[in-house]
Structures are given as C-alpha cells and as structure tokens.
C-alpha cells in the first residue's frame, strides 16, 4: 500500500480523498493555486504545495507542476478526483513515465473512451447496447440525409470530439438536416478544432441512467447498480438518485452484468461509469466516464461501500474487496448539488460565506469544503456542496432531504438551495416520473419562482 498520496484537485472532492487516505493510514498531499491558499483541502491535508497562480491552466491543469509536486513531496500515487486532469491520457502517461501510480485506469483505456466514435465502437464490440446510428463519422450532407432516411427523424448530429453538450444539433426532418449538420460541424470545429460528426437516432423522452462499474485490472469486474441522473439543466446534473426509480431488479441485473462483463473483458482497472439513455425499457450507451463521478456518494450509501478506498486499493494492486454476490442494495439515496449560483438564471455567485451550518442526523451526509468566513474564488466550478440523504425507501429519502434542506444554512452568497425546496413541491418528483427534459421545461415554466 502507498504511504503518501497526492490529490490533484480542490474543493469537496479533495476532502473526500483526504478522508479516505486518513482512514487507511495514508498521508495526503494537497496541491493548491494561490487563490486557494485558505481552502479547506489545504487546511485538512497532511502536507500542502502551492502549484501556481489562480487560473487552472497554470495550476490544477499543469501536468509539470503536479508531477514536480509529487516528486518533491515523495508521494507515490496521484488521485485526480473528477474534472481537471482526471480523464487526460497524456497526464496519465506522464505520471506512469515518472514511475508514479495514477489512481484510475490506464492511459490506453482513457483514450479509448475519450473519443466518442471509438468509445461507441468499443462499447458495441463488448456487447453493450448503443443508440442506433451511423457507423463512424459522417463526412457529407448527402451521407447525412441517407442516414436520416434510414433511421428515421428526428436524429441528433454529434461531435466526435464532443463534451459538455457542445457540438450537438437535432434535425427533426430532412428539411432541417442541412442547417443542423453544418452548425454541428462548425461548432465542433470552433470548440474542439475537429469538425468530425456522427449521427444517432434522437430519443425523445429518455431518462439518464448510469451504471457504476469497478474493474480489478486483472480481468475481474463488478457493477454497483445504477444511478438516475435525469434531472439536468444544460446537460449538467443537479439531482441524482440510486437506485433508479424506473429500473426493475431484472433490468438492473441484466444491464449490470453486461457492463461488468464488458469491463472485465477490457481488463479495466478502477472505477468507471457507463452512461445510458433509457427509453421504453431499452438501454442505449452514450459514453463512459473513466473516473469517479460527482454523484458517487448515492451508490456508496445504498451499498455501504467506500468507492475511493476501493480505487486506492485497486491502484495498489490489491484485489477488489467485494464480489458481485456480496453487493446488496439497502434503501434509497438522493444527492442534490449545491452551487454558488443566483436563481433563476444560475449566474455564478462567488464571494464570502458569512455563515455555514451543515445538516446532520440519521442518513444525512454533507460533502462540502465550506466554512464560516471562506471566500469562494471566482475562478473555478460553482459546486460548493453535495447534500446526500439515505432512507429505507424513496419516500423516506425525500422526507429526509426536505428535513436536511431546512437545517442547511449557507449565507453570504446566492445558492441553488431554494431550487430543491421548490422541486420537493412537485408531484412528478415524488412519483419519480421525469425524463431528461423535465427540469428545463419546469424552469422555463417558472418552476423555481413559484
Ligand atoms: P457530452 O459528452 O457533450 O455531455 P453526451 O453524448 O454525453 O455528450 O450527451 C449529452 C446529453 O445529450 C445526454 O445526456 C442527452 O441529454 C443528450 N443526448 C445525447 N445523445 C442523444 C440521443 N441520441 N437522443 C437524445 N438525446 C441525446
């Protein structure tokens, strides 16, 4: 096992990793930009190193600065958290070239899932169901129209290099194809320097269902069920739950074993998430994230497993500490993402926290790097906390969420906390009846102002 781990991240996820290290008796090294000198992860780690100025390109995204920090501190392994360098194959290669261990999959597995056409082809070859669509890239408008006619409208044109919902356009009919095709290519060129696009059938009322997987790197793999993350704004998740309210035990076992077998065959190592759109009982692969997800705590809650500890163990060459048959779902968990943003437009709201009080009690977990007097810097993601509740069933989890939100105090900046109070008034949230379009439609109808 490692003696010392460097955490190449900040905020709540850096604390999350420090906590796992401490329970495992491993020393932690925090890195930080000059803007984060007073951050909680810097206060909580065993050692700290300043790696550069405020802009993340010069600090949290600087491969050279992070590898030097690792060498100076004597850490043997790097945990990347999520975002920043967590899915950067070049970084992983550099880590390995310096004789250090990356806590995550190999550079080759990250690259394979980084390009969307390759990811889809790999998924298909591994027996994972995918959205019907073009075989690979589509170069001309004529070809695009042939595919539109073959699969039937509406279709979605997506950037091969895509991410963050950019470079995606829907064509509802052949008449809309020319515009959608050219716009998707132009957007993709501008955002990613690559205008290759591919085409898929556009699903009209899907849910977002993602399967948590773990590979031991030796040809073994397990799944830890699914999360439903359908409540999204601009493709950003805001409310996540496990298990998925629309998924039956049979469906879970079936898609779960397809995913577990796939990662076993890949020889995948560590945590991963296979994301699907789910409609009318069918699962359709959209992408795989080769890292820990923001919403991993809902899975931890229902399985009673520490996924970060497991990541560290697997990276150190140890076997998985659970077998598929040991994993049993207990109750229901919900996470809400609290952002420093002003409603109803979700505009960033950095600033000083005048008062912070975290909720507590049975089944309540608050993952946050806030403290009284903390100044949220304007340079990074607006996520400032995750409130996770766990109950014996979904009804209890929702009641607990309502109770915990009532205890939570974040004063001094605007936050998305009122959004969740408003959502809890909605019958659709209580019945679990929502698709990936529900939240946007509700917001457009003034849901949050009511
Ligand atoms: P990105 O990596 O840019 O986030 P994804 O492929 O993960 O792109 O898709 C992001 C979102 O776009 C999905 O969660 C879904 O809301 C929508 N989407 C993508 N593909 C389809 C499709 N074939 N049909 C309907 N919606 C889709």
Residues 302-347: tens digit of each pLDDT: 999 999 999 999 999 999 999 999 999 999 999 999 999 999 999 9
State in Å: Cα 210 to ligand 1 middle. 13
Whether 103 shows a pLDDT value over 70: the answer reads: yes
Give the pLDDT of residue 162.
Answer: 79
DSSP 402-418: HHHHHH-EEESS--SHH
Instruction: State which ligand 1 atom lies nearest to the alpha carbon of 200.
Output: 23
State in Å: Cα 180 to ligand 1 middle. 15
| Structure token pair of residue 228 | 């439903």
Q: Is the dihedral of CA 388, 394, 398, 399 positive or negative?
A: negative
Give the pLDDT of residue 239.
Answer: 98
Confidence label for 449 from pLDDT (cuts 50, 70 and 90): confident
Confidence label for 376 from pLDDT (cuts 50, 70 and 90): very high
Q: Of 10, 291, 309, 337, which residue is the catalytic one?
A: 291
Rounded-to-integer distance, Cα 98 and Cα 93, Å: 9
State in Å: Cα 382 to ligand 1 middle. 22
With a 6 A CB cut-off, is 285 part of the ligand 1 pocket?
no
Active-site annotation holds for 291: yes
Whether 163 shows a pLDDT value over 80: the answer reads: no
Confidence label for 115 from pLDDT (cuts 50, 70 and 90): confident
With a 6 A CB cut-off, is 87 part of the ligand 1 pocket?
no
With a 6 A CB cut-off, is 131 part of the ligand 1 pocket?
yes
C-alpha dist (Å) from residue 244 to 237, 335, 429: 14, 13, 13
Give the pLDDT of residue 262.
Answer: 97
Give the pLDDT of residue 448.
Answer: 84
Mean pLDDT of the 35-46 span? 98
Give the pLDDT of residue 450.
Answer: 60
> pLDDT per residue over 230-275, tens digit each?
999 988 999 999 999 999 999 999 999 999 999 999 999 999 999 9
Q: Is the dihedral of CA 282, 286, 292, 295 positive or negative?
A: negative
Q: Are the beta carbons of 303 and 327 closer than 8 angstroms?
A: yes
Q: Are the beta carbons of 277 and 375 closer than 8 angstroms?
A: no
Reported in sequence order, the residue ranges of 34-151 that DSSP labels E, i.e. its strands, are 47-52, 77-79, 101-102
With a 6 A CB cut-off, is 165 part of the ligand 1 pocket?
yes
With a 6 A CB cut-off, is 157 part of the ligand 1 pocket?
no
Dihedral (Cα; 143, 144, 146, 150), 10-degree rounding: 140
Residue with tokens 């690979």: 136
Give the pLDDT of residue 198.
Answer: 95
With a 6 A CB cut-off, is 234 part of the ligand 1 pocket?
no
> pLDDT per residue over 78-88, tens digit each?
999 999 999 99
Dihedral (Cα; 59, 63, 68, 69), 10-degree rounding: 50
Confidence label for 193 from pLDDT (cuts 50, 70 and 90): confident
Q: List the one residue out of 65, 83, 21, 16 whose CA is nearest residue 47.
A: 21
Mean pLDDT of the 35-64 span? 97
State in Å: Cα 370 to ligand 1 middle. 32
State in Å: Cα 7 to ligand 1 middle. 30
With a 6 A CB cut-off, is 159 part of the ligand 1 pocket?
no
Look up the pTM and report it: 0.95
Element (H, E) at 223: strand 221-233
Instruction: State which ligand 1 atom lies nearest to the alpha carbon of 164.
Output: 3
């Amino acid at each position: 096992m490692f003696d010392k781990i460097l955490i190449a991240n900040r905020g709540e996820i850096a604390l999350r990793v420090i906590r796992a290290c401490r329970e495992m008796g491993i020393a932690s090294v925090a890195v930080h930009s000059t803007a984060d000198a007073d951050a909680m992860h810097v206060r909580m780690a065993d050692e700290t190193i300043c790696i550069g100025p405020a802009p993340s390109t010069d600090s949290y995204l600087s491969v050279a600065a992070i590898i030097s920090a690792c060498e100076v501190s004597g850490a043997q392994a790097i945990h990347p958290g999520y975002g920043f360098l967590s899915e950067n194959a070049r970084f992983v290669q550099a880590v390995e070239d310096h004789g250090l261990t990356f806590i995550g999959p190999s550079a080759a597995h990250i690259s394979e899932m980084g390009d969307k056409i390759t990811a889809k082809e790999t998924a298909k070859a591994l027996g994972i169901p995918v959205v019907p669509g073009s075989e690979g890239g589509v170069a001309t408008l004529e070809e695009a129209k042939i595919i539109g006619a073959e699969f039937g409208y509406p279709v979605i044109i997506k950037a091969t290099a895509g991410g963050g919902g950019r470079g995606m356009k829907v064509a509802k009919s052949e008449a809309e194809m020319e515009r959608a095709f050219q716009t998707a290519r132009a957007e993709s060129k501008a955002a990613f320097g690559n205008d290759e696009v591919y085409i898929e059938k556009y699903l009209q009322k899907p849910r977002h269902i993602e399967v948590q997987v773990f590979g031991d790197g030796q040809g073994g793999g397990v799944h830890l069920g699914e999360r439903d993350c359908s409540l999204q704004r601009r493709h950003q998740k805001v409310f996540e739950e496990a298990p998925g309210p629309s998924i039956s035990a049979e469906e879970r076992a079936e898609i779960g074993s397809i995913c577990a077998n796939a990662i076993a065959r890949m020889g995948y190592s560590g945590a991963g998430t296979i994301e699907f759109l789910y409609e009318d009982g069918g699962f359709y692969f959209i992408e795989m994230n080769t890292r820990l997800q923001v919403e991993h705590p809902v899975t931890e809650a229902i399985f009673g497993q520490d996924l970060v500890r497991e990541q560290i163990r697997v990276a150190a060459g140890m076997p998985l500490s659970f077998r598929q048959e040991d994993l049993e779902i207990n109750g229901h968990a919900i996470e809400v993402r609290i952002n420093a943003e002003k409603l109803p437009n979700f505009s960033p709201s950095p600033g000083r926290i005048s008062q912070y009080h975290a909720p507590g009690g049975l089944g309540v977990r608050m993952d946050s790097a806030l403290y009284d007097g903390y100044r949220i810097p304007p340079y990074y993601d607006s996520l400032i906390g995750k409130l996770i509740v766990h109950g014996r069933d979904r009804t209890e989890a929702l009641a607990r969420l309502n109770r915990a939100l009532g205890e939570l105090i974040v004063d001094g900046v605007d936050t998305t906390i009122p959004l969740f109070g408003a959502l809890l008034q909605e019958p659709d949230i209580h019945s679990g009846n929502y698709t990936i379009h529900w939240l946007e439609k509700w917001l457009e109808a003034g849901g949050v102002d009511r």
